Structure 1
Amino acid sequence: MNPGGEYARDSRYITTRVTADGRDGFPVEPGRYRLVVSRACPWASRAVIVRRLLGLEGVLSMGIAGPTHDERSWTFDLDPGGRDPVLGIERLQEAFLARDPGYDRGITVPAVVDVPTGKVVTNDFRQITIDMSLEWTAYHRDGAPELYPPELRPEIDAVNEVVYKDVNNGVYRAGFAGSQESYAEAYERLFARLDLLSERLQGSRYLVGDTITEADVRLFTTLVRFDAVYHGHFKCNRRKLSEMPVLWAYARDLFQTPGFGDTVDFDHIKKHYYLVHSDINPTGIVPVGPDPSGWLEPHGRAALGGRPFGDGTPPGPVAPGEEVPAVPGRS
């Protein structure tokens, strides 16, 4: 938070890439890297979804940090002994300091860690999912969807840019605003963009083209947190997602698509925001609601056509050990 001013996200990420040709020194190799995430974090949740949609579970292992963290970093308190079983570390910070002992930027998820050295390779969340689609193709499952098709990339990039500025980061600009004026400006931009997205999606099942793409993944991870966190905690309260008919149906459609809702842990999401942001919620009380069962209500979006996975197929069952608590009514 910037008292008296506008919230600005620290975007100084480690931009080293894991590529098919290893041009940055880190070639794609099965079992070499570990994707560290928190189910609480919308940026990390993108990587969780894309990894599952593409079927990379068997070649890119995943470490799941707990939903809360302190000023030092995310911790592996969900694991026995509080240590990641593959990396052997208690805090993600250790992987960043192994890469750069003087590292002084954000310890963020998602992060890709080189298992042999224990050093973080990248935490550039925007590039991580694109590289999963383009650089890991040799290890995609049979029937993996094309989330970043060449002919649609300019449009996907353009949509992603405005969604990031006004929605993905817009909720944070409202929630962490340091003045009434900066909050109001972020609030107006957020809902103006949501109105435009509603218009776009009224006659189209997906954001770009007739299949799920990277653009849908990026919008979904904000929408799925909207009523549970952003509406109240971040004061994004013109109306709830469940009161925006088009976006609510669109979000339910994705939630009910294999690879989306089966990666969402509402308990982790609420604990993170309401416990970590003590300046916004000093009591540390975590809301009991809202009732998540509404996510399973019929959405009617199939009437718009579209093919969720294009020429591909849905992903199979969630990998053992990666299951999330079931929403009431979901087996």
Structure 2
Amino acid sequence: MSADTSGSGYVEAEYSRDSKYISDRITSDGSSRWPVEPGRYRLVIARACPWANRSVIVRRLLGLEDAISMGMCGPTHDERSWTFDLDPDGRDPVLGYERLQEAFLARDPEYSRGITVPAMVDVPSGAVVTNNFPQITLDLSTQWTAHHREGAPDLYPEHLRDEMDEVMERVYQEVNNGVYRCGFSGSQRAYDKAYDRLFTTLDWLSERLESQRFLMGGQITEADVRLFTTLARFDTVYHGHFKCNRQKLSEMPVLWAYARDLFQTPGFGDTIDFPQIKEHYYVVHADINPTQIIPKGPDTSGWLLPHDREQLGERPFGDGTPPGPPPPAEQVPADHGPGGIPHR
């Protein structure tokens, strides 16, 4: 919280995210204790979480499913940890854990910070390597290149990195984290400030995307992945639950068409599980929604409407190709897609 210096004694109560992650990296050049090694690591995610959703998309676009296995937690958690309650016996079949917390304690028995997804876990030791979600996806692009699928896109092009980093930082601060800043504001003043920052940036993004298909131009990059996971949750949870209600995404023409374009691209929309997203936010955030009632709406069938963004560019993967379908065990249930309609 920050103190008001205007003389009123008012405390602004601005939301601040804990970003003290385990910062180890898995590298290909021997610069860390964790070498790139297919089959050694397990990516633990929850479909409900936007930060984890990034890593699911990037892993899929790059074709790393055979090199890095994936464990899935359920959409809700208690004060201790995410749990593997989606697995038949409530245990991750590879790690043998009931709770993700066990992997963090295997790394540090005194670990006392947040148990977060995504987390990369070293299978032989059962210990978390890192939960630093922004770095995880960049390393999938830059350190695992020897194991990318044929036709994998370059999601972090070297010649665009300086500008990309600036765009992604603004997207993170004002949109990805901005919706949380609105939802968890502790005062009217903090909320009003967060709301204005969020929609100022959404307007800036609309202007940027009016004349180019993707954030960095004519092809998909990591920047689009990072923005997409927030947009995919906007009308379903952030508009109402987090009071981000100047407009729905579906009422912002450019961003809505851009989001549908990505949703209908293999590797994006087929990672989105709307029921799990709603269950997570409306049940876990009991301080915001004390009844824990999960709304029946909104209608999500609009995600499959034509977007007409092809006129701005016809090579979303650049010189690469779209990924194939996800492995059967990783497919979102057909009735969890847009409007209960199976993903195309």
The TM-score normalised by the length of structure 1 is 0.98
| Counterpart-to-counterpart distance in 2, 1:272 and 1:317 | 26
From 285, 298, 302, the counterpart of 1:277: 285
**Where does residue 71 of structure 1 map in the other structure?**
79
> Which secondary structure does the structure 1 equivalent of 2:89 belong to?
helix
Shift of 1:177: 0.3
1:183-209 residue CA offsets vs partner (Å, 9 max, x unmatched): 000000000000000000000100002
Amino acid at match of 2:63: G
Shift of 1:291: 1.1
User: Are residue 200 (structure 1) and residue 208 (structure 2) matched?
Assistant: yes
**Where does residue 22 of structure 1 map in the other structure?**
30
Q: Share of identical aligned residues, percent?
A: 72
Instruction: Describe the shift of the 1:27–1:48 C-alpha distance in structure 2 as closer, same or farther (beyond 3 A).
Output: same
**Where does residue 49 of structure 2 map in the other structure?**
41
| Counterpart-to-counterpart distance in 2, 1:25 and 1:306 | 42
How large is the Cα RMSD of the aligned pairs? 1.2
**Where does residue 161 of structure 1 map in the other structure?**
169
From 308, 312, 315, the counterpart of 2:320: 312
**Where does residue 59 of structure 2 map in the other structure?**
51
Amino acid at match of 1:267: P
Structure 1: 5+ residue stretches without partners: none
The answer (yes or no) to whether the contact 1:296–1:329 under 8 Å persists in 2 is no
The answer (yes or no) to whether the contact 2:120–2:130 under 8 Å persists in 1 is yes
Shift of 1:307: 1.4
**Where does residue 220 of structure 1 map in the other structure?**
228
The TM-score normalised by the length of structure 2 is 0.94
Segment of structure 1 superposing worse, 285-294 or 230-239 = 285-294
Shift of 1:329: 5.6
User: Are residue 234 (structure 1) and residue 242 (structure 2) matched?
Assistant: yes
| Counterpart-to-counterpart distance in 1, 2:131 and 2:343 | 33
| Counterpart-to-counterpart distance in 1, 2:88 and 2:305 | 37
| Counterpart-to-counterpart distance in 1, 2:312 and 2:230 | 23
Aligned length: 331
1:79-134 residue CA offsets vs partner (Å, 9 max, x unmatched): 02110000000000000011011111110000000000000000000000000000
> Which secondary structure does the structure 1 equivalent of 2:34 belong to?
coil
| Counterpart-to-counterpart distance in 2, 1:183 and 1:10 | 19
> Which secondary structure does the structure 2 equivalent of 1:34 belong to?
strand
Structure 2: 5+ residue stretches without partners: 3-10
User: Are residue 123 (structure 1) and residue 123 (structure 2) matched?
Assistant: no
> Which secondary structure does the structure 2 equivalent of 1:80 belong to?
coil
1:9-29 residue CA offsets vs partner (Å, 9 max, x unmatched): 000000000011232211011
**Where does residue 40 of structure 2 map in the other structure?**
32
Q: Which has the higher contact order (CA 8 A, sep 6+)?
A: 1
**Where does residue 5 of structure 2 map in the other structure?**
none
Amino acid at match of 1:330: H
From 172, 184, 189, the counterpart of 2:197: 189
| Counterpart-to-counterpart distance in 2, 1:218 and 1:312 | 20
| Counterpart-to-counterpart distance in 2, 1:9 and 1:317 | 35
**Where does residue 106 of structure 2 map in the other structure?**
98
Shift of 1:210: 1.3
After superposition, residues 295-306 of structure 1 pair within 5 angstroms as 295-306=303-314
Moved over 2 A (4+): 1-4
1:40-86 residue CA offsets vs partner (Å, 9 max, x unmatched): 00000000000000000001000000000011010000002110000
The answer (yes or no) to whether the contact 1:206–1:306 under 8 Å persists in 2 is no
Segment of structure 1 superposing worse, 136-145 or 286-295 = 286-295
> Which secondary structure does the structure 2 equivalent of 1:64 belong to?
strand
The answer (yes or no) to whether the contact 1:293–1:329 under 8 Å persists in 2 is no
Segment of structure 1 superposing worse, 317-326 or 256-265 = 317-326
> Which secondary structure does the structure 1 equivalent of 2:240 belong to?
coil
**Where does residue 147 of structure 2 map in the other structure?**
139
| Counterpart-to-counterpart distance in 1, 2:283 and 2:145 | 39
| Counterpart-to-counterpart distance in 1, 2:275 and 2:206 | 28
